């Protein structure tokens, strides 16, 4: 669904949830003023009823409704908004009895059409809170319709995650075992070994792995996906002008290939000036263009066909080094060039705080969608991916889900690219919660943990100690991997030789074990479990060699 601009608002989600008069069909029942403005019900030519806020004097002047929010419940909010003139950034916010303001979601409303705001929040303490809408522009009218606020308790939230995982990540498989004469084999044990999961789940590595056998063994025994912490970055490959050195990056690529791991490319350019080679930042625009052209041609051509993605212009929602040097269309120029040089590697946007922090409006989901539209309007028409870094402190699962829901409207691949949780109480618990939330969302196509090991410590989160023994965070990751791989799964057939189970999508090998089947006559069957349009059950037949 395109939530950007519709002629008429859709019906409220969840029937409005706990909102009184969500469709404004009963006048202003349930609604009051927040601030000092005029509130009225208006009816469009097609009969749609909505609230109009006029004579606004302050940014927070809006319609309001009071709710009692409960601790540890998850709240999903949505609303359709419009302004009388131009465009305006509007945020749904809750003011508590202590005067604290909690932002729940943001939308870029405009005149002439309706835009959907979607957000979420979890509160730390139960109590009354007043929903209202805060606009960046106090001069235009604000129109509001189809408002919804739906609470979920912990069990309901987890049940939704479990149901989604079963629906989007797994399929049913029916096994039938036969003896050498083709008769159904009852009470046969079928051992199932996962070879590769269809959901890419990996971890960042760095140059420390190259001469550390323990690090290599730890990584290779777990992961088939990786990204390099710093070794592809411009400051690593060309610290002095014209003196390129790809030796470490080459060695890491070779290691990953030997391990059977696919690689994300991170990154070609970084918009933050402080993370560029010192000689680059002060170049004149002409010299900067020459250096940037050489950079993209060199690194993308060198690793053509070896990577699945490139973070082309990293963090270009928060920063703008390229644009400050080369003009507003600089990012689009280099996305186009990277795609021309390597059509097999999907170019990605990549930024932080889109799902982590609702108060950072710079990279809020509507801003992310606006950046995508900007790239398209500037002429980049090629493939594109949405990279969500995911550097968390205290996660808000409702906000994560609502944000990804909104980003999914772009119909582009979404990956969580740099997931970590800061070192705090419940770090491992939070990590587990975030991974479950991400994996259970249909729009997310892959996940990388940002915890490359260093003897001096990791960026924000380690999975192991310096002897590669798991920390609690590492135990979380290993549990996820074991779940994806169905580690140690052995099933037993019924009287007709059947057994049915649900397996994660991926490549598998199955083998029969039965007193009537000798090891010399046993045979392993390889099969693939993949999503199907009609969710038919995959049938796998196994029998020993004659």
List residues with catalytic annotation.
Answer: 315, 418
What Cα–Cα distance (Å) separates residue 534 from each residue in 171, 504, 530, 538? 11, 17, 12, 11
Distance CA 110, CA 80 (A): 11
Task: Give me the helices (H) in 199-246, please.
Answer: 213-220, 234-237
Q: Which residues contact 377 (CB under 8 A, 6 or more apart)?
A: none
- Cα separation, 209 vs 448, in Å, equals 17
Of residues 530, 505, 433, the one with CA closest to residue 161: 433
Strand 414-421 with 444-449, pairing: parallel
The DSSP code sequence of 20-51 is: SSTT-TTTTTT-EEESS-EEEEEE-TTS-EEE
As a whole number of angstroms, the distance between CA 69 and CA 20 comes to 15
Would you call 45 exposed, middle or buried from its count of C-beta atoms within 10 A (0-12, 13-18, 19+)? Answer: exposed
DSSP state of 15: G
With beta carbons less than 8 A apart as the criterion, state whether 399 and 369 touch: no
Sheet of 498-504, strands arranged across: 498-504, 170-177, 538-542
158: enclosing H helix or E strand: helix 154-168
**Nearest of 19, 51, 34, 6 to residue 133 by alpha carbon:** 34
Query: What are 119's two structure tokens?
Result: 């957000």
Q: Kindly tell me the burial class for residue 124, based on how many C-beta atoms sit within 10 Å of its own C-beta (0-12, 13-18, 19 or more).
A: exposed
Helix, strand, or coil (residue 284): coil
Cβ neighbours, 10 Å, residue 431: 26
Q: Of 422, 419, 476, whose CA–CA distance to 444 is shortest?
A: 419
Q: Is 105 helix (H, G, I), strand (E, B) or coil?
A: strand
Cβ atoms < 10 Å from Cβ of 411: 10
């Amino acid at each position: 669904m395109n939530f950007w601009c519709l002629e008429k608002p859709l019906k409220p989600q969840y029937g409005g949830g706990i909102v009184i008069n969500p469709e404004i069909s009963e006048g202003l029942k349930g609604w009051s003023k927040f601030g000092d403005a005029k509130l009225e019900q208006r009816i469009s030519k097609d009969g749609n009823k909505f609230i109009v806020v006029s004579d606004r004097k302050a940014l927070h002047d809006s319609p309001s409704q009071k709710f009692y929010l409960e601790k540890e419940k998850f709240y999903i909010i949505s609303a359709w908004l419009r302004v009388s003139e131009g465009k305006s950034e509007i945020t749904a916010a809750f003011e508590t009895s202590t005067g604290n303001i909690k932002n729940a979601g943001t939308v870029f409303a405009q005149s002439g059409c309706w835009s959907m705001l979607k957000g979420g929040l979890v509160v730390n303490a139960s109590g009354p809170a007043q929903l209202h809408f805060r606009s960046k522009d106090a001069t235009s009218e604000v129109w509001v319709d189809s408002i919804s606020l739906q609470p979920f308790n912990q069990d309901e939230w987890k049940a939704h995650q479990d149901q989604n995982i079963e629906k989007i990540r797994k399929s049913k498989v029916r096994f039938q075992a036969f003896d050498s004469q083709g008769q159904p084999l009852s009470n046969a044990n079928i051992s199932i070994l996962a070879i590769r999961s269809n959901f890419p789940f990996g971890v960042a590595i760095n140059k420390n792995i190259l001469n550390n056998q323990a690090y290599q063994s730890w990584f290779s025994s777990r992961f088939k996906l990786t990204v390099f912490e710093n070794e592809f970055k411009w400051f690593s490959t060309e610290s002095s002008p014209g003196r390129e050195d790809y030796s470490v990056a080459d060695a890491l690529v070779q290691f990953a290939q030997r391990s059977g791991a696919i690689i994300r490319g991170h990154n070609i350019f970084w918009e933050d000036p402080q993370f560029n080679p010192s000689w680059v930042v002060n170049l004149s625009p002409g010299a900067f263009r020459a250096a940037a052209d050489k950079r993209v041609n060199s690194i993308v051509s060198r690793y053509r066909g070896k990577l699945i993605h490139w973070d082309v212009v990293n963090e270009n929602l928060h920063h703008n080094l390229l644009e400050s040097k080369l003009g507003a269309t600089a990012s689009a120029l280099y996305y186009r060039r990277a795609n021309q040089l390597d059509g097999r590697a999907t170019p990605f946007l990549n930024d932080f705080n889109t799902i982590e922090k609702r108060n950072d409006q710079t990279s809020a989901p509507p801003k992310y969608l606006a950046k995508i539209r900007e790239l398209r309007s500037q002429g980049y028409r090629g493939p594109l991916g949405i990279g969500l870094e995911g550097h968390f402190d205290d996660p808000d699962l409702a906000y994560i889900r609502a944000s990804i829901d909104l980003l999914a409207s772009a119909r582009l691949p979404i990956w969580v690219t740099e997931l970590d949780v800061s070192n705090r109480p419940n770090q491992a618990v939070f990590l587990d919660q975030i991974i479950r939330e991400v994996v259970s969302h249909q729009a997310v196509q892959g996940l990388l943990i940002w915890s490359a090991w260093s003897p001096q410590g990791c960026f924000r989160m380690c999975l192991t100690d310096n002897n590669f023994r798991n920390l609690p965070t590492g135990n979380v990751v290993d549990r996820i991997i074991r779940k994806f791989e169905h580690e140690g799964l052995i099933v037993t057939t019924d009287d007709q030789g059947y057994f049915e189970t649900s397996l994660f999508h991926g490549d598998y090998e199955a083998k029969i074990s039965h007193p009537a089947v000798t090891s010399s006559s046993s045979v392993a069957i390889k099969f693939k479990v993949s999503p199907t349009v009609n969710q038919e059950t995959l049938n796998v037949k196994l029998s020993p060699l004659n």
